[in-house]
Chains A and B, each alone.
Chain A
Amino acid sequence: MDKKPLILLVITALLCAFPAIFIEGEYGGTDGVVEEIPTAVQWFSPVFEPMSGEIESLLFSVQVAIGALIIGYYIGRWQAENSQT
């Protein structure tokens, strides 16, 4: 792996880990704020809601896996194409 992206990825990981380690908080989603608006009424409910937090995180990881698979596939393919010529 190239040095530049590797260094950037390490910095990114540290940056994301920093708050969770050093700052106390509930770490809920910022979108929860909408439900706290006193005048807000939810006039339409989601068509499908994941049955539990576990299933929700499963679906989110599936989303990441699909995206990462596509990116990895093309980068690998491009690298192979380039090394042939």
Chain B
Amino acid sequence: MKLRERDLEIDFTDAIDAIVFDQMKASKPNYHGIGEMHRVDFVVELTEAILFVEVKDPGNPKARSEGLEKFYRDLSDGTLGDTFAAKFIDTFLYRWAEELLHKPVYYISLVTFEDSGLLPNFSDEIAKKLPPMGKAIPRWKRQLAENCQVFNIELWNQSFPKWPATRIASAENA
């Protein structure tokens, strides 16, 4: 099942179901309908797990400098981490309310950083912003996310050969 976010496409070849969760067009299937809630881009159901997938493309050759400056400013001051965490939490709540959270959830993001050195730090930052915020809480019997990790295209494709990510050529967008 192929899902696309602007110029990036991911083929979840072994998915039972895969939807564009961030769907705010009322005419489309899986219309979200609550603009006040943050949303991950895709929700993918596998046999034994659910993936929440967020995609950001600062490495897009067509990216404008103002947009890139804001992206890296938000990364630097923690705003981007806050946003990624909010996307997970609100999506989790929404799917819980739909009674569609019956499997372990994995939060994996594709961010087209050239510098893979940014990935582990950003992954840790997001994970620490998800409840229980890095704290040990003995009363909790389960965790919200089994894994919270950010990949660039190269590492994504090395890690998940069954979910190839590709940049769609500009000509196809025309």
Partners in one complex: no
